[in-house]
Structure 1
């Protein structure tokens, strides 16, 4: 009986377990419809969370030079994958729900419904978990600074090698901590300091950080601290509000733990480095300080351990430099011109800046008469610049016949953000011309980068024609100046937050207004409409949310720049098209959620329609969001032909390369946050020949591809022969930069294009599936920096260790790539 009882209990338990298992699995079917509804609801919540996270990421990344954390990026990728999987399940929804019967509690195909219901349930769990994980306290972190920032330098350098060698040798002396470089203005001190800075690129392990600071005549300790703070990662909104002493303590805490090189350019008087927070070098502290100055006594005041004087060029070196700047055929074809040219060079007194400036000016002079006139002008009335003492440099008052439109070229307006910084010698001369020669004709108010916190008194504005207050810290423009003759006003790179509504009331002839890089400027005064003569308006990198309707009054506008305006959401309809005389329009980045009454709504589709109304438009920079806006843009050959910068975002459909062949002048192309699979090319000899003959990408110098999650390659880049900068990041399925399969079909034609022949900067980042860059080694004749970070599947590079050493290429690689490169195996 005991045995029978035991069997009975066992059977009951088994039966109960079977029933429980059946019920739990049957729930996948009976709850299928409810789970589908819940899944869609939870997915929408997840998408809202994802959008909130992305907004936070965008606010940190570009404006604050930060990058999203790996945790955030991984979460975003998982969210995208989940969204794709839910979309796939939604496509099966109707088919599966039709199989349900008995009020949804059973199915005509239980096996199929069970599997589908289980997938729905599992995906519901995934989506719910992702939503919970999306509560990030930190979404981005500061990007580590490179130890050395490469400084631009002219390739033509004469007469500095000997001094450079001495200074560089001195930098290796443990007993020498502070080095002075002195000499007259324009002799080449800054060039020498730049050579020293760039030399550290070859020895990045010698020091932890190399810091470049421009001090200049109106030196402010706060501005020196600002430059240092930015380089060592201290600069943020909270740090800006600290007192000088607090900033000094922060700087000291960091630099005292580092081996640093501090390069101070253009010191006019002693800088108290202790107050700045810089630890003074000593035999126990292996850091270095190198500075340039015009004055020998400053070397003593700064307690320099070694001093090096930069002299004017000797006759032979001066003549060599001058010949480099004048056309060779001009000098060689006429012995009389050659003789006079030697006299012109001699009049420059060996000063490099004068030799370069005058040499360039004379390059187009082809007759003996023009050269004789130049020498007469030079000898007629010499001008001695301040700080030169007995060293005579002949530059003259009536030199207009040689340097042409110096005033307009250097003082009216800058060409782009990089601007035009005059050497102090030429600046001295230009200001002398402006203030003395044309005192009766022109009046200037120029106070740039002098630390102003308030605008000059309104009485100083009276009667002026040109005002430049750029590079200061002016926050408010509350006064109302009267400037009936003002034509140019530069207020860029300040801290403007408020402009009086009547500030522009008495500027009827203002033609150029620059308000760019005032990051806190959120509103324009409505009475800006009074500027009816305005031709050039730059609002780039401001916080402006809306362009007022009143701007329609600016009917003479020829140039409108709205780059990097991440807060800009509203541009009234028919505003852009009202600028009938517009030649230049720039809008590279704008706000993400514009309202329906804004021309930005629809990703730029309505903006394209208005641009088509501008018959004089000849230079365009634009961001388009979505395939609809792009299709509208591609319909216009006119817009193609004048596009210089194009940012494509949110593309869903693949794009044919042949559709872009009309863009003959495009310089920079950015493609981001898109889901298209490829830029399509029919890789046959006929289409390749067609693309080559169109020269569509011949002007393209820079390409950025980021967050294109379905893009597998960028083979089309081989058709851009003049590329100098390529950056590809966060394309998680990209396996090849140049596809072996696609390119292999026309291998000879592709190789004849010499891919990347002029490339200088190549950055590959967070491409986890990337396996190959190119199928064979590339010479990279002009490559300066190569980065491959976060590419775990990449095993070979198209360059070898010897080429890196010989060409002095700066490389940043994942550890496994660096070890592979050092093995010096033949690259593949």
Structure 2
């Protein structure tokens, strides 16, 4: 009897599972919970029956009689299950309760895609995560990934009752989204004109569904969920969406977001082969070219699939080579690729909705493909191009620049370079006219947000750059041939009269001959930097560039700057950093529109003629070791915000009257003439001095050893270097700035301790001190004198001692007793570093030694 009933139950279970399979997979419906519970109970009961049947077969007569009661009980339970399994009201929800249909999608490619799918699934089943954002550049596979998630929810047994999918359009509106949602949940809101009432109707309908997931594809702007009627809540509705922008994810209040990255090289090749088809047979030579074609798609699944399908059936190597040549040399002008891929990427550009930010984005395309560019270099170029307001303070300019770059990063139009450690593919800080300035600002907070901008190096994805070049060709008059290994300047025929910008950076151009004299009356920007073999530029080259504003010849090998540059009276930026052989400069008197002049790391020996006429100049970098000047030439440049002189060159010694009139200075690095001029400038600094500075005082005339070791770890912000001075026995006591943060004292042989620097009593912001080669130094601090600075230096974090051959104790109380540091928290965070040339009888309390 029991076995007969069990057989009936198993037949019923089989029929129900078959019916469920048809309803769920083909009709998109969902089994009722009572059906799911019944099936679980059947499984448990089958196990019990099989166990007792086996026991009956193996037991003797006595045991058989004892099991009779249990068999009778099980037979009744199985009979009840058969009766309850009739489900006269049906196995699944009605059509209105449908979970949806599986979406047609491509196979997921790449280990990272699989990892992201697993990550999103974990978030979906986590009750604490209600809103999930998936972002990345166009064509990278965001939609495909979410389609897989959608289908997984439909085909797997989960706690979700409903799964919905809505694709948003470029012409997004709350009303349209409400209508799309109403349609998929079977709600008629066509007669309701009030947005709030429509939202209430939708919210109530969705809450009745209890647990459900809503997928929104292609969200371009954030919007208030409650205004649409999307009731995201625990034990209710979860929202998962795709976007091009991290900023949208943040504004939509995502608890978790994931960025979809391009495929690796091997993953891209695997996807390419899958879409090329099995009927395309390639020779080893053609396969090698095909791999290069796949590589040009730069890891974007959309580009890879489009390109592979366009090459189906192509087996001749000549056709593959032709396709590769087109991809490399015409910036993806294949009709299919342009329509399918560049069109997708272009949406992100157009959606910036800010012409200034769009222009900044196009500026990034002036750099070579795959180049890693320091953010500050880009911001400087934005300022030079007039895209960032140059009338602001340096802090405000860099804040605006970083804000623009953050927008481009968050829109996936620029990529952060994580864990950047330097390399020859990066145009980095050494390329920047403000290498020193940026360092100062980072430490001195001239740029308030600079420590929070994330990665300091960015790059453009190859296809994003191709899209930018495509836009430039259609809408603008630019000539971009950066990083193409050119050895000659482009022919004059390419220098059309309507050209506005030319970038020839990072090539191997040797010279610009006399017969090249482009007639480009509208040319505003000319970038020739990093042509390190460029030794000569003909004087005639600039003759017909009357509108030129930005001229960048940095990192070239020129010795003479052409005289025709003198007549470029519209020039606002003249950049010559690291032209290491440059000695001869023409007169600059006519360049009165000039805002930025960079002569750092050049071989000039004198201030260029006419520089005093550059009354609008704001940025001036004269960090040139052979330059001889008294500094008086800069006194008339009253609009300067940024001034760097070669501070360790004794050939440039600045007097207070030459810099005291520069009241807009925000950054200064200079060597003051003597103690009198040093103290006089320090006195006026608290009123209108620079935010960041490096001031050096050195009484010796000969060129000394550069104090770069002082900045090996952190570049300067509010720093002072005192060298070869009489501090204790001199006629005038040394005065230090009140806000000094770092101090270096070297070769000052008359000081016995730091307390001999009397103004240190007021240096409450001092964080770091370095003392080197001071033969008279016997102890570090003294408590016995009234001028002891110990109690003032509560922010002191680091003291470094080098070659102090007479140093015996750290802190001296009187002539006979060596004492530990004073109590009360002084030096609580101090770290010490010394060399073996410092004689050690040193004791310290709460001090960390670094040897």
Give the TM interval when normalised to the shorter protein.
0.3 to 0.5
Q: TM-score, normalised by structure 1?
A: 0.42
User: Which is higher, the Rg of structure 1 or of structure 2?
Assistant: 2
Larger relative contact order (CA 8 Å, sep ≥ 6): 2
